[in-house]
Chains A and B, each alone.
Chain A
Amino acid sequence: MTKEEYGKRIVSQHIDECFRLQRALDSSDNEAIHEFRLACKRLRYAIEHFELAELAADAKVLAALTDELGFGHDCVLLGKIAVKAGAPAVNWRAQQDRSQYLKRGRALWQKVAKSLVVAACFFFLVVSQAHAAARPTLAAALSAITGNYPHTQFGIAVYDLDKHKIIYGWNEQRFFLAASTTKLLTEGTTLALLGPDYRFTTNVYRTGPIDTNGTLNGDVVLQASGDPNLSGRIQPDGTMTFENEDHSYDGSPDTKAVPGNPLAVIDELAQQIAAHGVKTVTGRVIVDESLFEGGYPESGTGVFVSPIVVNDNIVDVTATPGARAGDPVTIAVSPQTPYVTFINKAITGAVHTDRTISIPADQADAGGMHTVTITGSMPAGSPSILYAYDVPSPVRFAEVALTAALQARGVAVQNASTASAPLAVSEIGPNVIAAHVSPPLSQDVKVTLKVSDNLHASIMPYLWSPKHTLRAGFDLERGFMRRAGLDTSQIVQNDGLGGFAFIQPQYMVHYLAFLRTQPYFPTLYAALPILGVDGTLFNIANSSPARGKVHAKTGTWSGGDALNHRVMVSGKGLAGYMTTASGRHIAFCFYINNLAVPHGEDAARVSGQINGDLATATYLYAR
């Protein structure tokens, strides 16, 4: 072996080391970041020592990268000293600086990583032709990751979409808790049975005539259609927007509601009613929810399932701490309706104290209105947090919102304060006075899969069959899958979102391979989160060379461990598609079951990073 070949072999090993450690950039583990920095230094020195001209520019980027991470490390040290010296403001400033250095370090790594992958592949060819040096196989790369978690079960299937076979499997014939990867089954079935162009039509009827004075002698009836997007998601161009951390997953600094008016569709319906010349409604404003039997909280985030969905059946309560301990916490409520009134008793706590804000369950008054007292504290200087108030009665919420929207347009509703009695379908007259037609279903599939919206996914099985029951819906799903040649005995499904769902990895990859052949596949593919970019994968593997190359659905199911103050991730999944660095088209499914995560760590993210590592290894080593 020549000196140059030897140098390329050594540099390849250092590149591998950097990629093994690069996930540190996505963590808050200062030691791991430091280790990654040292690995980058070793790589740079190796490039310089062996005078590899093709990597000279990368060595300069690596030098800048290690400088930035070094400055960040200095800030960590300074922060520790400041804390010991009782100097919180200095610590805060150091942490802010550290974040900036880390951000710049990440950007530099992204800049250099792509070229290093290419170099590693090229060097591999050079070295392997001259010498039988073994680069890690896919099996070795994946087992190197799973081997770090001896008490956790892994299920893996990697399927070559061109050769039509599983090229790597580990426990692929066993059942794994699938959590929200089940939504791939739900949304695939929805696209197959309803089609990506399906649109919901939500009509509003009147049950009596409108006289010349504008008096509607009767009720106004909104007939719920199962449209999950009577909200502010709809954009002027007909697309629907989303936030990576959806408001149903509340309590995280990243959680946001979509911008705009959450009652936009309700306001649009009220505007249409007023445009009919209605000035007074002698009866009630009623929502007919007879389409299917909801009224229960979905098992993931606890949002109530119903054929009527206004703002995802959530009231967004954003809490912001004051500047000092003892200051009141301010809250912002959206949408504001008479349906719920919040009494704010939350206060600002000292810096570094735990956040204890809670929005307790409450009872409705005789008119179906709610009063909720917010208690607890949040630390001074911490970011605003969005909390979701899960609307206990979506029907009453919609009735109150539509009533308020009518009143805002000068329409008096005489029975506005009375909770409605159930309405028989036969009571509904044929006189449509307002209607809302949704954007195509493809837009809702995007929202559901990108943010893993449990409520939207829960509704879909009710819509598949004209009977509008879960049983009839699942009968159709089973038929669809069997016609595709899939063995449904390899999956367990009980709802649309993935509560008590179990899937064998082998099933998932064969199902994904089937979907790829279907005409609606582009819709499904475009709806999947992208690794390191958006949706539920926005903060996973951001520095990976596979960033942007993996389109996949996540799933997370976890519970507490009161004894040890930690979180048990009972199910974590990632299933989807990628084109690997060597150009292979892959469908894959990774399941992690029973991973104990220490107190204080973000369990969803920690387990997500492991799946991100598995995806990165597959991207690099599936050749």
Chain B
Amino acid sequence: MAGVAGTDGRLIARVRDLHRRAGKVRDADVLLKRVKAYRNVAGGAELEELKTVAHKLRKRRKKARRKLQALIDDLPALRQ
């Protein structure tokens, strides 16, 4: 396929990277949504725990988003 598209294997590898890094962002979003659902029914100490977990997830998402953006920004260089 790489030959047909006129590219080498780097593009395929980069698309896989994109898929993987986008997946990390998506994972964090899904888990944050689940934590939000838990917060609606939890009380007491569990609420505090959920805040901690949500904070950790937001950090993970931010990091994953940053890495994804870096990869996207790097794509034009691949076309040259």
Contacts and interface: CB of A to CB of B under 8 A. Distances in A.
A82 B46 contact: no
Interface of B is mostly: helix
A85 B52 contact: yes
Contacts of A351: none
B56 A74 contact: no
Contacts, number: 44
Interface string B5-26: 0000000000000000000000
A78 B53 contact: yes
Contacts of A93: 38, 42, 46
B34 A81 contact: no
Interface string A80-104: 0110111111100110000000000
B71 interface: no
A90 B31 contact: no
A364 interface: no
30 contacts: A74-B27, A74-B30, A74-B31, A74-B34, A75-B34, A77-B27, A77-B31, A78-B34, A78-B35, A78-B53, A84-B56, A85-B49, A85-B52, A85-B53, A86-B49, A87-B49, A87-B53, A88-B49, A89-B42, A89-B45, A89-B49, A90-B35, A90-B38, A90-B46, A90-B49, A90-B50, A90-B53, A93-B38, A93-B46, A94-B34
User: What are the nearest 9 A-B pairs in CB distance?
Assistant: A87-B49, A89-B46, A90-B49, A85-B52, A85-B56, A78-B31, A85-B53, A87-B53, A89-B49
Interface string B43-58: 0011001101100110
Nearest to A92: B46
Contact of A87 (B34, B50, B60): B50
Contact of B52 (A74, A77, A78, A86): A86
A86 B56 CA distance: 11
A483 B49 CA distance: 71
Interface of A: 74-75, 77-78, 81-82, 84-90, 93-94
Nearest to B57: A81
B46 to A, nearest CB: 4
Nearest to A86: B52
Contacts of B42: 89, 93
Interface of B: 27, 30-31, 34-35, 38, 42, 45-46, 49-50, 52-53, 56-57, 60
A74 to B, nearest CB: 5
Contacts of A85: 49, 52-53, 56
Contacts of A88: 49
A473 to B, nearest CB: 61
A196 B51 CA distance: 64
A81 B32 CA distance: 12
Contacts of B60: 81
Contacts of A82: 49, 53
Nearest to A84: B56
B35 to A, nearest CB: 7
Given A81-B57, A93-B38, A87 B31 contact: no
A78 B49 CA distance: 12
Contacts of A78: 31, 34-35, 53
A85 B53 CA distance: 6
Given A86-B52, A89-B46, A93-B46, 6 more contacts: A78-B34, A82-B49, A85-B53, A88-B49, A90-B49, A90-B50
A89 B38 CA distance: 11
A84 B56 CA distance: 10
A90 B36 CA distance: 12
A94 B27 CA distance: 15
Contacts of A90: 35, 38, 46, 49-50, 53
Contacts of A86: 49, 52
Contacts of B50: 87, 90
A447 B46 CA distance: 45
B46 A81 contact: no
A88 B45 CA distance: 10
Contacts of B49: 82, 85-90
Contacts of B56: 81, 84-85
Contacts of B52: 85-87
